Amino acid sequence: MIKNTLRTLPTLLLLAFSGVASASAFQLGEQNASGLGTAYAGSAAIADNASTVFFNPAGMTQLKGVHISGGLVGIGSQIRFRGLNGSSGGDAGGWHGVPNAYLSWQLTPALTAGVGLSSPFGLATEYKAAWVGQQEGIKSELTTLNLNPSVAYKVNDKVSLGLGLNYQKVDGELTSTGIVLKGDDASYGWNAGALFTLSPAMRVGVSYRSAIGHTLKGHVNAVVPVKADLDLPGTFILSVWQQVSDRWEAMGDLSYTRWNSLDRLVVVNRNTGMQFGNAEVYNYDNSWRIAWGAAYRSNDVTKLKFGLAYDRTPVNSRDRSVRVPDNDRLWLSLGGQWKLGRASVVDLGYSYLYMKDPKIAQGNAIGKYDNSAHIVGVQYSVGY
Read off the pLDDT of residues 302-320 as tens digits, 9 standing for 90 and up: 999 999 999 999 988 888 8
Residues 192-198 have a mean pLDDT of: 98
| Residue 9 contacts residue 176 (beta carbons within 8 Å) | no
Q: What local confidence, expressed as pLDDT, does residue 16 receive?
A: 41
Calculate the alpha carbon distances from 303 to 195, 272, 279, 285, 341 in Å: 24, 61, 52, 38, 14
Q: What local confidence, expressed as pLDDT, does residue 109 receive?
A: 97
Q: What is the dihedral of CA 31, 32, 35, 40, to 10 degrees?
A: 0
Q: Is the pLDDT of residue 37 over 50?
A: yes
Please report which confidence band the pLDDT of residue 264 belongs to, taking 50, 70 and 90 as the band edges.
confident
Domain range for 248? 2-383
> Concatenated DSSP letters for 314-330?
S--GGG-BTTB----EE
Distance (Å, rounded) from C-alpha 302 to C-alpha 321?
44
pLDDT per residue as tens digits for the range 51-74 = 999 999 999 999 999 999 999 999
Q: Is the pLDDT of residue 126 over 50?
A: yes
| Residue 139 contacts residue 13 (beta carbons within 8 Å) | no
CATH number where 118 lies: 2.40.160.60
353: nearest Cα among 330, 333, 334 = 330
Distance (Å, rounded) from C-alpha 292 to C-alpha 358?
25
Which residues does 156 contact at the CB level (< 8 Å), separation at least 6?
Answer: none
Split into its structural domains, the chain has a count of: 1
118: nearest Cα among 103, 138, 133, 135 = 103
Q: What local confidence, expressed as pLDDT, does residue 87 receive?
A: 81
Q: What local confidence, expressed as pLDDT, does residue 86 receive?
A: 82
Distance (Å, rounded) from C-alpha 97 to C-alpha 335?
18
Q: What local confidence, expressed as pLDDT, does residue 280 receive?
A: 59
Q: What local confidence, expressed as pLDDT, does residue 8 receive?
A: 47
- Compute the Cα dihedral for 7, 13, 14, 15 and give only its sign: positive
How many CB atoms are closer than 10 A to CB 123? 25
Calculate the alpha carbon distances from 114 to 53, 182, 256, 283, 344 in Å: 7, 33, 25, 37, 18
pLDDT per residue as tens digits for the range 231-256 = 899 999 999 999 999 999 999 999 99
> Which pTM was predicted?
0.92
C-alpha of 26 from chain center: 7
Distance (Å, rounded) from C-alpha 33 to C-alpha 29?
10
